[in-house]
Amino acid sequence: MDTNALLDQVTFDPNGLVPALAQDHETGQVLMLAWMNRDTLQRTLSDRVMTYWSRSRQEVWVKGQSSGHIQEVVEIRIDCDGDALLFKVKQHGAPCHAGYKSCFYRRYDDEGLVTDVERVFDPEAVYKRVS
């Protein structure tokens, strides 16, 4: 696969990043939004496993590395301006570090933010966080 065919079309922002949207390849459900730099995009293209750039930690982040909830790449799309990527993925486990099937588990309405879905895993158990 010629990865340069895609890499050369991507318009990275001034910080060298591009938004990457992950979508369930079977249901179409939007799972999460994260960021990629050229290196993490190249790794994703090569390994076919979603690899992001963590803006908060300033490091490479292989999705599922600590939880086992990896995302296998099924299809890759780029928008008309080249400044956003859409990845259709096979999600193993749940993508959201808060324990939901999608990072978009809250709905905004007249009463504010409402969580309208159930958690699928306990983040404390998966990530073994200490409070």
* pLDDT tens per residue, range 95-116: 998 999 999 999 999 989 999 9
Number of domains in the chain: 1
Can you give the pTM of this predicted structure?
0.89
Identify whether 40 is part of a domain. Answer: yes
Confidence label for 3 from pLDDT (cuts 50, 70 and 90): confident
Reduced to 3 states (helix: H, G, I; strand: E, B; else coil), residue 43 is helix
Identify whether 108 is part of a domain. Answer: no
Please check whether residue 64 is in contact with residue 48, taking contact to mean a CB–CB distance below 8 angstroms: no
Confidence label for 54 from pLDDT (cuts 50, 70 and 90): very high
- The dihedral region occupied by 68, where left means phi > 0, alpha psi between -120 and 50, and beta the remainder, is left
- The domain in which residue 54 lies consists of 4-97
CATH number, domain at 34? 3.10.20.810
- The dihedral region occupied by 11, where left means phi > 0, alpha psi between -120 and 50, and beta the remainder, is beta
Whole-angstrom Cα distance, residue 16 to residue 110? Answer: 38
Identify whether 12 is part of a domain. Answer: yes
Across 53-64, average pLDDT: 95
Confidence label for 130 from pLDDT (cuts 50, 70 and 90): very low
Identify whether 63 is part of a domain. Answer: yes
Identify whether 109 is part of a domain. Answer: no
Identify whether 64 is part of a domain. Answer: yes
Whole-angstrom Cα distance, residue 124 to residue 17? Answer: 30
Identify whether 104 is part of a domain. Answer: no
Identify whether 20 is part of a domain. Answer: yes
